[in-house]
Structure 1
Amino acid sequence: MADGLAFREFDTGMHLHIVGICGTFMGSLALLARELGHRVSGSDANVYPPMSTQLSEAGIILMEGYHADNLMPRPDKVIIGNALSRGNPEVEAVLKSRLPYVSGPQWLAEEVLPGRRVLAVAGTHGKTTTASILAWLLEKAGQSPGFLIGGVPRNFGVSARLGDGAGPFVVEADEYDTAFFDKRSKFVHYRPDVAILGNLEFDHADIFDDLAAIERQFHHLVRVIPGDGALLVADRQPALERVLAQGVWTPVTRFGDDSNSTWRLVLDQEDACRFRIIRQAAVGREEAIVDWPLTGSHNARNAIAALAAAAECGVGLAFGVDALTSFESPRRRQELRGQVGGVQVIDDFAHHPTAIAATLEGLRASTSDGRVLAVIEPRSNTMRLGSLKERLAASVACADQVFWYQPEGLDWSLEAVVQQSPVPARLVSSIDEIVSAVVTHARSGDRIVVMSNGGFGGIHEKLLSALEARHESA
């Protein structure tokens, strides 16, 4: 028996065990399972904050490492994350013991989504922010939505909740595969009533051969949206147009900056803190001005997508625009981690050339006096494979200085990216060296943005500590 495995007296449901529980999606499932009254345990190779803290506070038993002993006492059902594969000792023990097991997306679809109006947010970029905005709009409208989001919306403080069982449910719809025994994209399981298709580029080079393979998965999502549902599609996206060309059976509404789109975005400021939305519907034309705290045209597009989806649930444009003023960006999306001596340290999840460029463009436009210093770790599977390395140099054009981190295990060198950089760039192979170089270089008014889809060795706190030490000794 795993040490300390004990459940609260009020647990009345099944005992669910989640393998790979500290991933954002699986950890969110664990929170939903607890809300449903289930006893929940879980294991992961890396049990660390903030997810471990969030789960422990919810009364969920965590075990570090994958072992057959983690399955004692015998759970009623095991939920297996997509990071696990055959050969994993805990997976092998599940199969050998004939325990009932499902994937995370299947469990969500069977245990949480039935009877709910499901709103799914899909796309290569912007899913977390768009889903967070949508959930906030519905919350402000009094609809108490449930949600599962691949990040932590700061307006809610948790990555998932059930909400009102009769209310809508917002789900971040990921195109990554479901599990070792189900290679379909996760989002196929959700069968949404309303789906946002925000953009589509090549990504996940570890499981997809090319963009056409991802387009096929997106069309599988299109196939399961009912005819009386809604399909909200970004304009000026050739890959999405190819998806729709394979067949569509649901009314399509376009959003973006095209003059023919039903939901049209007009930027009034370069930093996109202020923009206009024009809704051209059969019932007439509406216009509203958005003033909000986020920056970047990509976030403005996220906002208009969320407004269009919220309208499908009866949220009016004027009300939605007003709600945007109190929206807080999710954790790790241009999140200010601290400021010392006039130097800001910002955390951002960007891990794709398009996302890197969008983040830096927004920060550059909203930075008046200082510089934008970018610290980038190519950590995602696509980046580690080098599939998009030819686009990396151009993606940092809006930065003033770039520090590229060459982590151990990266099979290709970033030297060519540094040499081709349109702005001053430096290649660094240790986190301590990055901290020293960045802090030496930084001056008051600068914004240091750290971009990675991982913890990056706690570099944010190390930067802040080093800046504090420099400031105190000055």
Structure 2
Amino acid sequence: MHIHILGICGTFMGSLALLARELGYRVTGSDAGVYPPMSTQLEAQGIALMEGYGPDNLEPAPDLVVIGNALSRGNPEVEAVLNRHLPYTSGPQWLQEHVLGGRPVLAVAGTHGKTTTASILAWLLEYAGQSPGFLIGGVPRNFGISARLGNTKAPFVIEADEYDTAFFDKRSKFVHYRPDVAVLNNLEFDHADIFDDLAAIERQFHHLVRTVPGEGALVINADEPALKRVLERGCWTPVIRFGDSADVSIGDWQVQHEPGETCRFTLHHGQHASHTTEWALSGGHNLVNALAAAAAAATQGVSVEQAGRALAEFASPRRRQELRGVVDGIEVIDDFAHHPTAIASTLSGLRSTQRAGRLLAVIEPRSNTMRLGTMKARLPESVSAADQVYWYQPATLNWSVDEVSRACRVDSRVFHSIEALINALVEEARPNDRIVVMSNGSFEGLHERLLEALTQRMRVSLT
């Protein structure tokens, strides 16, 4: 069977392509933007990629077309699918029908931290010997791949997104997954292009809650007011609570650590079990992610001690505080943060482990919500943990970043070209500095170009 995927280089659709290939299907796909790490991952699996959209990509006619939610009417390939009456479906629907049905499903939802939390959860299950399947919106470095079937009798971990499903199905993607265990990690306003307000997103999260069976479990962050409101709409499933509080009695699961110390911590499961561990990640937000994953893994028989030992060997997913390289003592770090809360959490986490040197933040406001300007009033405060901020003004952004830059309390500059941005960083960066690059896109290859430019600077200085 030949499956053709439209939007194949998106994190979800690319992962779905890997599962389809593992099931034995012939898989091809097209996309307007083909860039690593997804493009290299797909090519390594022998999946043919077509740059751009057009009717010719549908020759010979595939048996089924899976259409991503980035595609809409007017797209030439979508129009060809409809005009030729080719069978088509959405990614989430295909996943439910061909992968998820008949096995325990653990879905990880939340505005922030889905990729990291799902990666941790899959790793905890793997460490416990369960060989889980998973589909994650990134590449977990403990596995080196974003999706796999695993043991078909083992749990399947799915990163559960509230964004809509497809142009022909405007429900949130996660309502298709029918999880046995749903992790609700946090919830605030996002996706301003499709949701009017936070209440609209809370409604979608309650739709997810409605799909979890009474014999399943809801793993809920007890510190999130929005999630409390979601449960007040109705709950028919046992609730397991977790939170980052020193008072263990607040939730079923807690984490304790010294102030400012987030690399060494103790997991607590109520008053019954605890385990102290150390890991490579930083920031209080990642401790909460670990706590959520440990609580969810426990529903599948993973002990607190097993979870703690597994966390000590966990490597963050690619593009989540990922160290891309070090030149002349200058670290270049890649992070997916594209929301003020995520930006602030990332910078605060890195600041908590900062040694000598400065923290330089490089930010591209690229997401749909950012392009609409909905979050721009919160951006100046979100970068307060940095020493310097370098903003990039994409051509697609219809508002000026200069206003945000002027409101920053830290040294802040705006750039309209990647070349000028790289030149400024190369001129400014000094040994022991950390440069953290934050975008939900490729950023025009900024990371590698910056590392090359820093290398060239070092060579010149040595001559």
Shift of 1:409: 2.1
1:84 aligns with 2:71: yes
Change (3 A) 1:390 1:211: same
1:264 corresponds to: 254
**1:144-194 deviation per Cα after TM superposition (whole angstroms, max 9, x unaligned):** 000000000001011000000111100000010000000000000000000
**1:231-277 deviation per Cα after TM superposition (whole angstroms, max 9, x unaligned):** 01102211111111110100111101242111012122514001122
**How far, CA to CA, are the matches of 1:346 and 1:48 in structure 2?**
18
Where do 1:25-174 residues align within 5 Å?
Answer: 25-174=12-161
**How far, CA to CA, are the matches of 1:74 and 1:340 in structure 2?**
49
**How far, CA to CA, are the matches of 2:27 and 2:378 in structure 1?**
43
1:330 corresponds to: 317
**1:71-110 deviation per Cα after TM superposition (whole angstroms, max 9, x unaligned):** 1111111100000111111111111111111100000000
SS of the aligned residue for 1:458 comes to helix
Where do 1:202-217 residues align within 5 Å?
Answer: 202-217=189-204
State whether residues 268 and 276 of structure 1, in contact with CA within 8 Å, keep that contact through their aligned partners in structure 2. Answer: no
**1:304-357 deviation per Cα after TM superposition (whole angstroms, max 9, x unaligned):** 100001000000001110111110000000000000111100000000000000
**How far, CA to CA, are the matches of 1:171 and 1:61 in structure 2?**
25
Change (3 A) 1:271 1:408: farther
1:380 aligns with 2:367: yes
Shift of 1:20: 1.0
Alignment equivalent of 1:230, drawn from 208, 217, 221: 217
State whether residues 267 and 308 of structure 2, in contact with CA within 8 Å, keep that contact through their aligned partners in structure 1. Answer: no
1:11 corresponds to: none
2:181 corresponds to: 194
Give me the TM-score of the superposition, normalised by structure 1.
0.95
State whether residues 185 and 292 of structure 2, in contact with CA within 8 Å, keep that contact through their aligned partners in structure 1. Answer: yes
**How far, CA to CA, are the matches of 1:418 and 1:170 in structure 2?**
40
> Percent of pairs identical after alignment?
67
Name the aligned partner's letter for residue 39 of structure 1.
Answer: R
**How far, CA to CA, are the matches of 2:129 and 2:69 in structure 1?**
35
1:407 corresponds to: 394
**How far, CA to CA, are the matches of 1:332 and 1:44 in structure 2?**
21
Give the unaligned 5+ runs of structure 2: none
Number of residue pairs matched by the alignment: 458
State whether residues 121 and 195 of structure 1, in contact with CA within 8 Å, keep that contact through their aligned partners in structure 2. Answer: yes
SS of the aligned residue for 2:193 comes to coil
**How far, CA to CA, are the matches of 1:350 and 1:394 in structure 2?**
15
Give me the TM-score of the superposition, normalised by structure 2.
0.97
Give the unaligned 5+ runs of structure 1: 1-13
Shift of 1:48: 3.2
Name the aligned partner's letter for residue 102 of structure 1.
Answer: T
1:297 corresponds to: 284
**How far, CA to CA, are the matches of 2:284 and 2:185 in structure 1?**
13
**How far, CA to CA, are the matches of 1:186 and 1:369 in structure 2?**
44
1:178 aligns with 2:165: yes
Name the aligned partner's letter for residue 149 of structure 1.
Answer: I
Shift of 1:420: 1.0
Shift of 1:51: 2.0
SS of the aligned residue for 1:307 comes to helix
Name the aligned partner's letter for residue 413 of structure 1.
Answer: S
State whether residues 266 and 275 of structure 1, in contact with CA within 8 Å, keep that contact through their aligned partners in structure 2. Answer: yes
1:4 corresponds to: none
1:349 corresponds to: 336
2:411 corresponds to: 424
State whether residues 204 and 382 of structure 1, in contact with CA within 8 Å, keep that contact through their aligned partners in structure 2. Answer: yes
2:435 corresponds to: 448
Name the aligned partner's letter for residue 211 of structure 2.
Answer: V
Where do 1:314-329 residues align within 5 Å?
Answer: 314-329=301-316
SS of the aligned residue for 2:39 comes to helix
**How far, CA to CA, are the matches of 2:274 and 2:45 in structure 1?**
43
State whether residues 35 and 442 of structure 2, in contact with CA within 8 Å, keep that contact through their aligned partners in structure 1. Answer: no
1:458 corresponds to: 445
Name the aligned partner's letter for residue 96 of structure 1.
Answer: N
What RMSD in Å do the two structures reach over aligned CA positions? 1.0
**How far, CA to CA, are the matches of 2:232 and 2:328 in structure 1?**
54
Name the aligned partner's letter for residue 191 of structure 2.
Answer: H
SS of the aligned residue for 2:287 comes to helix
